Structures are given as structure tokens and as C-alpha cells.
Amino acid sequence: MLRAFSHTNGKCVFRNAKCWHRRKSVLAIRREDVNAWERRAPLAPKHVKELTQMGYKVLVQPSNRRAIHEKDYIKAGGIIQEDISEASLIVGVKRPPEDKLIPKKNYAFFSHTIKAQEANMPLLDEILRQEIRLFDYEKMVDRKGMRIVAFGKWAGVAGMINILHGLGLRFLALGHHTPFMHIGMAHNYRNSSQAVQAVRDAGYEISLGLMPKSVGPLTFVFTGTGNVSKGAQEMFSALPCEFVEPHELKEVSRSGDLRKVYGTVLSRHHHLVRKQDGLYDPVDYEKHPELYTSRFNSDIAPYTTCLINGIYWEQHTPRLLSRQDAQKLLMPVKSTSATIEGCPELPHKLLAICDISADTGGSIEFMTECTTIDSPFCMYDADQHTIHDSVEGSGILMCSIDNLPAQLPVEATEYFGDMLFPYIEEMLLSEGSEPLERQNYSTVVRDAVIASNGSLTAKYQYIQKLRESREYTQMLKMDNKKRVLLLGSGYVSGPVIEYLTRDSNVDITVASVTKEQLEQLTEKYNNITSVHMDIIKHEEKLNSLVKKHNLVISLLPYSAHPLVAKKCIDNKVNLVTASYLTPAMKELRESVEAAGITVISEMGLDPGLDHMLAMECIDKAKEVGATVVSYTSFCGGLPAPECSDNPLRYKFSWSPQGVLLNTVQSATYLKNGEIVNIPAGGAVLDSVTPMDFFPGLNLEGFPNRDSTKYAEPYGIQTAHTLLRGTLRYKGYSKTMGGFVKLGLISPDPYPLLSSTTPPLTWKELMCKLVGIKQPVEYDVLKEAVFSKLEKDQSQLEAVEWLGLLGDEPVPAADSIVGAFAKHMEIKLPFGTGERDMIVMRNEIGLEHPSGHLEKKFIDLVVYGDNKGYSAMAKSVGYPTAIAAKMVLDGEIDAKGMVIPLTKNVYGPILERVQAEGIVYSTHSIVKH
């Protein structure tokens, strides 16, 4: 197959391509943004220079993290530009975020999808959806299947430097200062030459005999013969070293010269033998690897100080080391002479493994997770089969960083770019939207196309089969499992997961748009799988997730629940939420009943526990013939008194936007037989009443939504007063009223705050809200705001305290209240060691058949844990989780829309929440 053009003496010679096509082609080097340590690029300035001299336009996304400075790319003819949408080919090193993909483009990067890696399947789905053509460097191979484009050598170089540094630390932990202490991590050196000099300096000390005698001769075993192994050997050779054959390792490990170190390179024939006859046949091994076993554990490992592993493991091939092997290798070595306390012998020969392949669960079976550049070492304790982040204690020092070349980014970039550059041209001359079969690619490039025009290419259609096979296997394994889909990963998710995973038969999938929260949850809890996605924007994916589960718990904003409920109806899956049963949800009542599913709402604190505590009291009253004549309920999530140190006297332990919007809702309640209506827009803040049932807390309350609608479901149509409200510390309502006056609680769309528009500062936004033109002096804006606040000094102080007159950027959002909520979450979080509290007071007036009146008081006060869950998270999360478990276990089997108003629902929940520290008290006052 002809290439589009080739190089002859540095000049471009076209083949089957037109000159005008070249001038139109644009290449973009994207910014690496997945890992903080990723400072490489796929092409260096010298490659950009050659491309621009050949007539191409090269865009380079700006990045202060990239190791090669932007000025070098500019000097080479590159254009530093954020917008890369005009490029036909976009190249990077690692995968881009799904939301940064541009449809119908050519992309080239390491996708890590060819084994149907579960973590990267959402990326592949998005590539297919957006009809992107994906070139994967990993599949750019020659006729022998050897990779042509790779960072392998520099992984080996960096890995060798790191493990020498790690050995210095490990020796020190075992009581020995060694020359390795003067070798740093690879990224501490400007380039490999500096690292080589540091290794040579350490080697010089070794050659002088400065290694402690009690550690014995050091031996290093290199597996593999490719670029990874060669790179590691190249750095190792800076030490005074002698390479020996594997069969000589035993002898030198016992009686070798302490003024040098020993290395051996291991190939297959050194350790692989057929189980039947103990022989190695390379042709037979390629056909039937399962018939072979490795003797590495018995013939090589006992005489190895440090293993540098550069080979990948494939199914049905022998592993180098198993957990059982490690247990035997870590058995204490019998001392051959009297030990001096200050000069201890090593506990065992095998001290360290540098698994440069970073192949988890691969040839080193017990290497189950990669280390990182931030935390490069861990200790594997074979007896306990545990891994701990340290260089101390018993076990083997492990180093298995999966992005080693990023530690030497400049040299790695130039090396990689040299290999990639000959293939850039033909990728660049095609458009991602054109059919693949029309492209005149070389075999190397064509075979690296994973996806094109919305489909997997023929060579990679097996990926879908692998996915389906894995999902089927997972389903089989989970046949006896109860599968829960949790939507949302915020404050409340922790208690929900913690409670449900007490049952080992419950598996939870958590789906959320917030990647950091997902990572924290998966690290903290067992039996959970995370899915990073925007649930609202990806309805098809949501539908696919729902159908695989027995129950959905939605902790999303209430506006998302109808969408989730429709997916549950379509797939006949039960649903639990903590939010109000809104009119939009009520419209689905008939569909829910027709589907034969259970949809539980109002299962949190307020609504939730307030209903349950009320109904428990009301039902008991009715049992003795009493009539309910009044019902008031006030509830609030607050900072503990000692933490209420800001103008709002409030901090956020749940959805900030929900808190803000609650202040501009309309409200309706019944007082002394009369209906009171409060319009939307902030008027509830003018209906504030002091609350002195706990005088020390200095509380105030205001009405919340429509209280009258609960007369019928509570069965208290006899009540002349019916009021539900929100509790806050005194002063909250006045301060919040100022924000309402300024228009900061507006939920209306505000395009100027979109992520696609230039960011505004708070000063600029406030100018727009008060109607004055920019530029403006601070004092002028302050006076305009003061006027808008009707000269209220405390409200102005709150505005200033929050920095709303300054130059801090306004967070991107769909509305002003959305941006304000994000800002408030940053400004008013709970600090380390601070706690929140929940206060609820129910007052129920009863008239008994005898004529005497009784006031029932139900108090609930819950404090957050300094190092655990917030009070709000517990008070919303545990009732939700308990209700979900009751649905899973069949305790709640009613079909249709359910809220916790019946004894069979609220009874068990009120009993079980007390075991979680949510304890309430009651007392009465009786008037005769």
C-alpha cells in the first residue's frame, strides 16, 4: 500500500496526494489533563518544525504543566491556541476526558481499550457516538507484532532509577546506610544524564567497598529483552556491574564481589519448561503455553535481590511468581555466622520488585494495584496478603508505577515523537468523517484504527464481545446478589452505602458526574462499582444501568427524579428517593402502578423522619380516640453553635442550591382555621417567627411550601392549625433577604455564566445586577449595592464578607443561583473538626374524648461526627438506606407511589434509625 508521501533527503515527495490538500490539513497537540504528572507530549518542537516547514498548520493547546515550554513550540512554528476544532488530526499521549472530544475528528492516543478495559469503556462509547476515528499507538506494530511507537525505553530508565532510590530507603529501614541513599526519584533529575551521574557516583562508592558486608552481594534480574528491559539495563550499567548467566546467579549471590553488583537477563528458555518432560520448545510454547510452567520461583528468585519485570502476562501462560511463591521466598534466612546487633543480616534475599509492566494481577500475581509517582513504593506482606504504603515492616518492596516515562518527560517526548513522526502525515491527510475504506493508509496505521465512522473496525469488533462476555460473567456471579444503583455521590451517599454494604449480598453501582467523589467512595467502601457520567445528559446509558439493577436510589436534585422514575418504569425496577413527591412525580402514578413497581419518596429527614414521627404520634392518639386539633413541625440543618461564625450563621452539609431556592418558594399554611398564602420570590423571609423552645440556640423559623396538603394523608382534617417550617439561627432570614433583593437567588437561565462564554468576576456580575456600567470604582459599586439593599448595613456586610464586590471569578453555571450556590459551597463549608446539627420540633395538639387537651412535643437533635458523617448525611442517608433494604428484602411490598405514612413502613425505620444514633424524645403537657 502506498503512503501518502515519504521523505527523501529531508524533502517531501507526494504520492497519490494533491498539494492543496496539504495546505488545508491542520494538526493539533492536545493538552494532557487526566494525570497531574503527565508532562509529556506526543511530538516535540523539532517534529512541529518539520511539519510547519512542509506546509502544515500545527496548533498546540496551552499547558503550563507540559515540560517543554510553549515558546519552544512557537519558535518551531506552532500556534498556541485553546480552540483546536479546525484540526483534522488531534494527537495526545493519554486519553482525553469524554466531554472534551470533538465529533468526527481523527484522534491518536493510548486509549487502553483493546482488552475491553472496563474503566475506559465509557470513553470508547463516546468515541463511537461522536463518530471519531481512533488511532491507538499501542496497536502500531511491525510484521512481527512488535510495537513501533512506544515509550518503553524511558519506562525502563525511570523504573531503574526509582527502584535504586527505593532500595536505599528499604536498606535504611533494615538498618543499613548504602550508596543508594544518594539516588533520587527519576523526576528529581532534569534529564537522564544527571540521573546517570548520580548512579555513577553511587557506583563509585560501591567500588570502594562501602556497601555493608552483612547485606551480601546484590543481584538484579531483568525479565524480557525488549526496549523496557534494555532501558533499565542501560541505567543499571552506570553501576560497577557484571552480567552473568542465570545459572551463575546462585554462586555470585553467595560469594560474589561486594565491590560490584550482578545482573542477569532472563529469557523464556531460562525458566519455562513443559510440565510433561521438563523441556522447552519455543514453537510448541507459542501454540500451547498452558502446557508449560515456570521455574523462576525455584531456580532464579531465591538468589535475586531485586527483580525488574518488563514482561506482560497473558491468559493461559505461566506466571513468574504467585502468592505462595512469595510466602516461601520471604521465609527468614538462617544466619551463617554470629550476628552483630548494629550490622544485621537481611531477613531474606528477595528485597524488591520493580514491575515496570505495571500489569496488575499479571506475571507477578500479588501485584494487584499500581503505585504512583506521588506514592511510589509499598510493602507486600505475603503471610497476611496485604499491601501497606511504607518501606518499613516485613515483606517485599514493590514499585509498579504505570506512567514512568512521565518522570523524564522531555527525553521521552523526543524519543516517542521520533517513532511516531513517520506516520503522522498519512493520518493527517484524512478526515475523520470520511469512510475508512477510502483512506490510503499503510498497514501499520490501518491496523491501529480501533474505531471509525461510529463503529469498531473489523479487527477490533472482538472488544464488544469481550464486554458482553464480562458483563454476562458478572451477572452470573451476581445471581444471588441484590444489585442497587445509587445515583449521586454527595454528602448523603456515604451513610447509604455504609448501611447497605453491611450485607455482603448487596452490590452497589454509584453513578455520578463528580469524579473526585466517586474515587473517594470506591477507596472507602467495598462492594461498589463507580460509573462516571452525567446522568441527565446520557439517558441511554442511564437506561442501560437501570435495567441491570434490582433497585435504584436517587440522591439527585428533585428535578431529575421524573426522568429516573421513567427509566425505572420502563425496566420495572423499584425506586427510592429522599425528596418530595412533586407534581411531576405524581403524574407518573398510573404508570408506576401499571409497571407493578414500588416508588418510595420523602424518605429522608424533612421530608421523611418528620412524617414518621408525626404519624407515630397521630396513630397512637387515634387508637385512644383523641382528635388532632393542631400540628406544627419545624426542622433545620444547622452548623453546631460554635461553628456558626459567619454573617449567614449557616454552613452547607447538603445541596447549597436547594437551600437557596427554598427561600424563594411560595408557602401555604393553616392558622386558626384560616388559609395563609405567601407568594414566591422571597416573601417567606418576611414571615419569620422567633423559636424559643431551645432558648440557648437563638432560633427563628419560616413556613416551608404547602403545609395544608398534609391534612388528608396525615388524616388530620380536624386540625385548625397546620404548619411546617424551616429552622435557622436568628439573622439568617434577614441576610438571605439581601441576596434576594440583589437577584442572586434567581433560577432563570443566565447565558453570560455559561462555560462557553468568557468568565465574569463577581464585581462585573454585581454591576449588571444593580444596573451600573463598567469600569467602576469599588466604593461606587458598594454604594449602589447598599442602595439596592435599602440601606441595610448587615446585609451589605454579608455581601462584602462573601467577596461579591471583588474580582474573584463567578463559577460557570446555567443560572445566577447555580453560580451563587457553587460560590457559597466554597465560602461556607464545614472546616476540619467542625460539625453540623439537626434540630426538629413537632408540636401536636390533641383533644381527648374526656374533653381535656394535650400538647405532644417531639424533639430530635442530632450532631454530626467530627471525623465521620454529618448530621444531615446521617438523618437523610440512614432512613433512605433502611427503606431501600426493606424493599430489597420484601418488607415493603406495596406497589405504586409510597411515602412513609403507614405503621408497617415508619415503625421499623424509626426503630432502626435509633441504632444509628438518630434518637428522639417526647413529652406532653395536659390541660384539664
How deeply is 125 buried, as exposed, middle or buried, from its count of CB atoms within 10 A (0-12, 13-18, 19+)?
A: middle
The pLDDT mean for the chain works out to 89
> What does the pLDDT average to over 48-72?
96
**790-795: long-range contacts (C-beta < 8 A, 24 or more apart)?**
790/741, 792/734, 792/738, 794/647, 794/731, 794/734, 794/735, 794/738, 795/734, 795/735, 795/737, 795/738, 795/741
pLDDT band at 840 (very low <50, low <70, confident <90, very high): very high
Instruction: Give the residue among 447, 536, 508 at the shortest CA–CA distance from 143.
Output: 447
pLDDT score recorded for residue 514:
84
Per-residue pLDDT at 431 exceeds 90: no
Which one of 359, 606, 610, 836 is the catalytic residue? 606
Distance separating alpha carbons of residues 227 and 248, to the nearest angstrom:
24
pLDDT band at 14 (very low <50, low <70, confident <90, very high): very low
pLDDT higher at 468 or 611: 611
> For the chain, what percent of residues have pLDDT higher than 70?
95
Decide if 99 is catalytic: no
Cβ-contact 681, 746 below 8 angstroms = no
Distance separating alpha carbons of residues 421 and 878, to the nearest angstrom:
57
Tell me the pLDDT tens digit for each residue of 504-544: 888 899 998 888 888 888 888 877 888 888 888 888 888 88
pLDDT score recorded for residue 255:
93
pLDDT score recorded for residue 20:
37
Tell me the pLDDT tens digit for each residue of 561-611: 999 999 999 989 999 999 888 889 999 999 999 888 999 999 988 888 999
Cβ-contact 268, 294 below 8 angstroms = no
pLDDT score recorded for residue 480:
67
Distance separating alpha carbons of residues 126 and 120, to the nearest angstrom:
10
Tell me the pLDDT tens digit for each residue of 135-193: 999 999 998 888 899 998 999 999 999 999 999 999 999 999 999 999 999 999 999 99
pLDDT band at 559 (very low <50, low <70, confident <90, very high): confident
CB neighbours of residue 533 within 10 Å? 20
Whole-model pTM: value is 0.54
pLDDT higher at 824 or 432: 824
Tell me the pLDDT tens digit for each residue of 873-903: 999 999 999 999 999 988 988 899 999 999 9
pLDDT band at 34 (very low <50, low <70, confident <90, very high): confident
CB neighbours of residue 683 within 10 Å? 19
Tell me the pLDDT tens digit for each residue of 760-787: 999 999 999 999 988 889 999 999 999 9
Tell me the pLDDT tens digit for each residue of 627-649: 999 999 999 889 999 888 888 89
Per-residue pLDDT at 315 exceeds 80: no
pLDDT score recorded for residue 655:
64
Q: Is the dihedral of CA 237, 239, 241, 243 positive or negative?
A: negative
3-class SS of residue 472: helix
Per-residue pLDDT at 75 exceeds 60: yes
> For the chain, what percent of residues have pLDDT higher than 90?
60
pLDDT score recorded for residue 657:
83
> What does the pLDDT average to over 484-488?
92
Per-residue pLDDT at 340 exceeds 80: no
Cβ-contact 303, 250 below 8 angstroms = yes
Contacts of residue 471, Cβ cutoff 8 Å, sequence gap at least 6: none
Tell me the pLDDT tens digit for each residue of 249-295: 999 999 999 999 999 999 999 999 999 999 999 999 999 999 999 99
